[in-house]
Amino acid sequence: MSGVDKMKNKAQELAGEGKESVGDATDNRDLQAEGEKDKMAGNLKQAGEKVKDAFK
């Protein structure tokens, strides 16, 4: 996994956590869901990159 991909995936995960936190604080369910979706997408991308690296 390249360092750039790692940083992008981690940034997406952190942005998702931020959105989720703001959604929790403001009781905005749409923002909570969007944050959780972004967080999960970042985690899945990281996992996929790790699998690809394992087969190199």
pLDDT of residue 21: 95
Closest CA to 35 of 24, 48, 44: 24
pLDDT of residue 30: 95
Cα separation, 36 vs 55, whole angstroms:
29
pLDDT tens profile 28-38: 999 999 999 99
pLDDT of residue 54: 83
| pTM of the complete model | 0.79
What is the rounded average pLDDT of the residues 24-45? 94
pLDDT of residue 1: 54
The residue extents of the domains of the chain are: 3-54
